[in-house]
Structure 1
Amino acid sequence: MTISMYQASIPVSIRTLNNLVSILEKGATYAETKKIDPSVLINSRLSPDMFPLSKQVQIASDIVNRGAARLAGIEPTQFEDNETTFPQLIDRIHQTISGLNTFKPEQIDGSEERTITLKLGDKTIDFQGMPFLLSFVLPNLYFHVTTAYDILRHCGVELGKQDFLGQP
């Protein structure tokens, strides 16, 4: 049995983003229950030189949104990166999932060797589709979702491994 580029990208990204929504909902509930200003959690970071929770969520959203569009050979939807509340962050993830749900397998499948050029700062990096997905998009998605999880866990939100993995 083989796995297609679509199967390796879209359903996996949607599942991970849905898990992130659940993690954020637990963060919002924790803030409300403990009477903590939600902005404290949203602006928390693991280290002074790391991005806060809000940016971790925005990057997770952007990486799969832009990744899927590049694999499909189309322009990605742009987000403003102006979310400051849990409901806004959750809504952004829902918008990203809605966008991912519009992709059809035939748009993504066959992109294994498509040349994808990224401008990262002052560098330009060329990828072929499969390495782009497997060594750039998915690792970045997992990194930023894990970091969002870790920030909330560090702040005291009761999260466990199953929150990250989701239900089978």
Structure 2
Amino acid sequence: MQLSVAETFSGTLRTLDSLLEKAADQGGKDADELMSARLAPDMYPLATQVCFAVYHALEIPHRLRGEPVPESVVAHVMAGLDPDNPGTLAAARARVADAIAILETAPAANPTPLGDAMVRIEQPNGTFAMTGEQYVRDWAMHQFYFHVMTAYAILRAAGIAIGKADYMPFARFKVA
């Protein structure tokens, strides 16, 4: 069995888009204020969670091919770090839609794994080095799902009527 990371990320980004759509529909005239909402004072707001989810989905093909992450991908993170300009739900949805389109195009949809080559990630607290498999399993998936789930939790805490079936839409296809 072989799994497609691009399919996994694009499917979950579709879920994120659906959550943002529900927020826009239910939020009324103040819906865009949700972009500044946070779970806790020391956590990033919804706008940043969306940007980080998009970034982590888009960086993986480049890292697995041993390429530098393009500035256009890094720009997603930078856009989410401006507390004075959190943007709108419509802009967040457009960012997610763009990421889905990128993930569904070659060669991004079919990265060539590095095998035993190391993926190196520079962070302020140090450099992380891991194999391509470790990177996907232990870094990329966790980072991506953390930010998508945090976006879900922010919306839920803000009173948006969403539940597990909205986060895991495939659950409605249960075979009796």
How would you bin the TM-score normalised by the shorter chain?
0.7 to 0.9
Of the structure 1 ranges 109-118 and 51-60, higher mean CA displacement relative to structure 2 is found in 109-118
Gaps of 5+ in 1: none
Q: Which residue of 2 aligns with 1:81?
A: 79
Whole-angstrom distance in 1 between the partners of 2:147 and 2:138: 14
Classify 1:95/1:41 alpha carbon distance in 2 versus 1 (closer, same or farther; 3 Å): same
- Whether 1:90 aligns to 2:89 is no
Length-normalised TM-score, structure 2:
0.83
126, 129, 141: which one aligns with 2:129:
126
Q: Which amino acid aligns with 2:45?
A: P
The answer on 1:70 being equivalent to 2:63 is yes
Secondary structure at the aligned position of 2:79 is classed as coil
Q: CA deviation at 1:140?
A: 1.0
In the comparison of the two structures, how many residue pairs are matched? 161
CA RMSD of aligned residues (A): 1.9
Q: 2:104 is matched with which residue: 81, 101, 106?
A: 101
- Alpha carbons 2:115, 2:133 under 8 Å: kept: yes
Q: Return the alpha-carbon distance in structure 2 between the equivalents of residues 121 and 114 of structure 1.
A: 23
Range 104-113 or range 66-75, more displaced:
104-113
Compute the displacement of 1:105 (Å).
7.9
Q: 1:149 aligns with which of 137, 149, 152?
A: 152
CA shift at 1:73, angstroms?
Answer: 2.6
- Deviation of 1:126 after TM superposition, in Å, equals 0.7
Match of 2:8 in 1: 12
Aligned to 1:21: 17
The equivalent of 2:44 in structure 1 is: 51
Q: Helix, strand or coil: the match of 2:22?
A: helix
2:10·2:100 contact (CA, 8 Å) conserved in 1? yes
* Partner of residue 138 from structure 2, selected from 135, 138, 160: 135
Structure-2 separation of matches of 1:42 and 1:150: 13
Identity among equivalent positions (%) equals: 28
Q: 2:156 touches 2:162 (CA, 8 Å); kept in 1?
A: yes
- CA gap of 1:30–1:104, structure 2 versus 1, over 3 A, is same
Give runs of ≥4 in structure 1 deviating > 6 Å: none
Q: Which residue of 1 aligns with 2:114?
A: 111
What is the TM-score when the length of structure 1 is the normalising length? 0.87
User: Which deviations, in whole Å up to 9, do the C-alpha atoms of 1:65-92 show, x marking residues without a partner?
Assistant: 1122211233333325165001100111
In 1, distance between residues paired with 2:137 and 2:128? 15
* Aligned-partner Cα distance in 1 for 2:87–2:95: 11
Alignment correspondent of 1:61: 54
- Read off the aligned partner of 1:73 and give its amino acid letter: G
Cα distance in 2 between the residues matched to 1:128 and 1:150: 31
